[in-house]
Amino acid sequence: MRVGLVAVAAVLAAGLLSGCGGAGDTTEGAGKGAGAVASSPAVKESAAPAKVVIRKAGFEDHEVWGPHAYVVHWELTNTGKAAGNFYAGIDFLDADGDVLGSTGITADKLGPGKTARGDSAPLPAEIGNGTIADIRGARVTEVERLEP
């Protein structure tokens, strides 16, 4: 039970923090940054799917996440027929492709066909199998439509 509560708290904190970068940030035309970036083709989708793309990821000096932070610039598009709230999980990978940790992003009240853009960075507590300095890539692992 305690582990579940910690996981829920981490997801909520990550969602709130991902909002600090602003879901309105545009990364249109951004290329892939340092490190491997992948959108997983095996992403779980709910009845009202969304498409999540990592536009750029790598170490950078960032006004919210700080100097030499590993930042993931993302976009989430509601591909369903109704507005919705969405959650996407992101794994952080080492040079061998092993998972170091994960975080989550959210997009709320997103209309059909609309795209939210933002950025997120892992917190040290989210990286349990190494350090932030070990991150070499990121991938989307799941996408869910959340009930209001």
Per the model's pLDDT, the better-predicted residue between 117 and 42 turns out to be 117
Instruction: List the structure tokens of 77.
Output: 């598009």
CA distances from 56 to 12, 66, 74, 85, 118 (A): 23, 17, 7, 23, 11
pLDDT, one tens digit per residue, over 10-34 is 444 444 344 433 333 333 333 334 4
CA distance 11 to 91: 13
pLDDT, one tens digit per residue, over 33-61 is 445 455 444 445 444 479 999 999 999 99
Q: Using alpha carbons only, how large is the chain's radius of gyration in Å?
A: 14
Residue type, 49: P
CATH 2.60.40 fits 2-146, yes or no: yes
pLDDT, one tens digit per residue, over 55-88 is 999 999 999 999 999 999 999 999 999 999 999 9
